[in-house]
C-alpha cells in the first residue's frame, strides 16, 4: 500500500475558450487522506485554509499515484492571519450591504481586500455594492477581476461563481460570463443550473444554437428542471416567430 501520506495535491488542467482566445488554466485542489482499510481511502476536500470543507470522496490506493501528488506536512499551513482578518471584515461588510448601508459596505470591503486581495466574498460584495450605488463601470471592473481569481471556482465558493456569472450577464458582459461558465462547468459539469445560466448568456448574446445546446445539457441532467423546460419552449417560440 502507498505510504500513509496525510496531505495530497490534485492538479487540474483545462482549456478555456476557442480559437485564438483559447487559453490553458491550471487549478490545484488539496485533500486530506484518511486510510480506512488496505483498499479504501477517504479523501477530504480542503479549503484555502487547509480545513475540511465537508466534501469527501472514497478512492482506492491505486488512485493516489495517478490522480494526486503527495505533500509534505510542512507545506500545509494554517490560514495566514491577514486572511482570517479579511474574512472577519468581509462578514462585517456583508451585514452593512444587507442593511443597505452602502458607504460603510464599500469602506469595509475595501479594507478586507487590503488584507487579502484574493478574498472571493469581498470582491463579489464590493461589486454588488457598486451596483447598488449605480456605478456599473466599477461593478464591471470588479466582477471581471473576480472572474480571474482561481479560488472562485473552488467547491466551497460554488454560490459565488454562480452568482458572479449571473451578475456579469446582467451587465452585458456576455463574453466574460461565457468564459466564466465554461470554467465553472469543468469543475461542476453535472450542475443543471450552471448549464441553464450559460444558456441564458448565449441567448442574450444572440447565439441561439449554443443556448439550445446548453439547455439540452441541463435537461439531460435533470429532465424535471421546469425553469429549463420553460426557457427552451420560449426560445422555440421566438424562433417560430422569426419564420
**More confident position, 202 or 156:** 202
Residue with cell 484574493: 118
Render pLDDT for 86-142 as a digit per residue (tens, 0 to 9). 988 999 999 999 999 999 999 999 999 999 999 999 999 999 999 999 999 999 999
pLDDT at residue 79, as a whole number: 60
Q: Structural domain of residue 31, as residue ranges?
A: 7-75
Shared domain check, 138 and 100? yes
- Is 150 strand, coil or helix? helix
Q: Which residues pair with 16 in a beta bridge?
A: 23
Shared domain check, 148 and 168? yes
In a domain, 118, yes or no: yes
**75's grid cell:** 507545506
In a domain, 143, yes or no: yes
Shared domain check, 101 and 45? no
In a domain, 182, yes or no: no
Shared domain check, 166 and 122? yes
Shared domain check, 169 and 85? yes
Given 24, 48, 75, which residue is the final one in a domain?
A: 75
Shared domain check, 69 and 85? no
Given 111, 143, 173, which residue is the final one in a domain?
A: 173
In a domain, 181, yes or no: no
What pTM value is reported for the model? Answer: 0.58
Shared domain check, 135 and 92? yes
Using an 8 Å Cβ cutoff, are 7 and 44 in contact?
Answer: no
Shared domain check, 215 and 156? no
CATH number reported for the structural domain that contains residue 163 in this entry: 1.25.40.10
In a domain, 208, yes or no: yes
Given 47, 75, 103, which residue is the final one in a domain?
A: 75
Q: What is the spatial distance between Cα 151 and Cα 158, in angstroms, rounded to a whole number? A: 10
Shared domain check, 168 and 88? yes
Render pLDDT for 68-90 as a digit per residue (tens, 0 to 9). 988 877 666 656 668 878 988 99
Give the DSSP letter of residue 50.
Answer: S
Asked if residue 226 has pLDDT above 70, the reply is yes
Per-residue pLDDT band at 20 (split at 50, 70, 90): low
Q: What is the spatial distance between Cα 114 and Cα 106, in angstroms, rounded to a whole number? A: 12
Percent of the chain with pLDDT over 70: 89
Phi then psi for residue 2, to 5 deg, are -60, 140
Q: What is the spatial distance between Cα 14 and Cα 23, in angstroms, rounded to a whole number? A: 8
Shared domain check, 39 and 14? yes
- 202-227 mean pLDDT: 94
In a domain, 169, yes or no: yes
Asked if residue 59 has pLDDT above 70, the reply is yes
Number of domains the chain is built from: 3
Asked if residue 229 has pLDDT above 90, the reply is yes
Angle, helices 192-204/158-170, rounded to nearest 10 degrees = 10
Q: What is the spatial distance between Cα 169 and Cα 201, in angstroms, rounded to a whole number? A: 6
Shared domain check, 67 and 142? no
E strand or H helix at 92: helix 81-98
Using an 8 Å Cβ cutoff, are 13 and 25 in contact?
Answer: yes
- Is 154 strand, coil or helix? coil
Per-residue pLDDT band at 2 (split at 50, 70, 90): very low
In a domain, 240, yes or no: yes
Cβ-based neighbours of 16, under 8 Å, separated by 6 or more: 22, 23, 24, 25, 179, 182, 183, 186
In a domain, 179, yes or no: no
Shared domain check, 225 and 162? no
Amino acid at each position: 500500500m502507498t505510504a500513509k501520506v496525510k496531505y495530497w495535491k490534485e492538479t487540474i488542467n483545462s482549456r478555456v475558450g476557442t480559437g485564438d482566445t483559447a487559453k490553458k488554466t491550471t487549478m490545484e485542489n488539496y485533500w486530506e487522506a484518511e486510510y480506512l482499510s488496505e483498499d479504501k481511502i477517504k479523501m477530504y476536500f480542503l479549503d484555502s485554509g487547509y480545513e475540511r470543507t465537508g466534501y469527501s470522496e472514497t478512492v482506492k490506493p491505486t488512485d493516489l499515484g495517478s490522480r494526486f501528488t503527495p505533500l509534505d506536512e510542512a507545506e500545509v499551513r494554517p490560514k495566514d492571519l491577514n486572511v482570517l482578518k479579511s474574512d472577519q471584515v468581509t462578514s462585517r461588510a456583508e451585514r452593512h450591504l444587507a442593511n443597505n448601508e452602502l458607504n460603510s459596505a464599500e469602506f469595509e470591503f475595501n479594507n478586507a481586500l487590503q488584507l487579502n486581495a484574493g478574498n472571493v466574498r469581498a470582491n463579489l460584495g464590493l461589486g454588488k455594492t457598486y451596483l447598488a450605488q449605480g456605478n456599473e463601470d466599477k461593478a464591471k471592473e470588479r466582477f471581471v477581476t473576480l472572474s480571474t481569481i482561481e479560488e472562485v471556482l473552488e467547491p466551497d465558493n460554488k454560490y459565488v461563481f454562480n452568482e458572479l456569472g449571473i451578475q456579469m450577464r446582467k451587465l452585458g458582459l456576455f463574453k466574460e460570463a461565457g468564459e466564466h461558465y465554461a470554467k465553472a462547468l469543468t469543475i461542476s459539469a453535472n450542475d443543471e443550473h450552471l448549464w441553464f445560466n450559460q444558456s441564458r448568456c448565449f441567448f442574450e448574446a444572440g447565439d441561439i444554437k449554443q443556448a439550445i445546446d446548453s439547455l439540452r445539457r441541463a435537461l439531460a441532467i435533470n429532465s424535471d428542471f421546469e425553469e429549463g423546460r420553460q426557457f427552451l419552449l420560449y426560445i422555440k417560440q421566438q424562433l417560430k416567430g422569426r419564420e
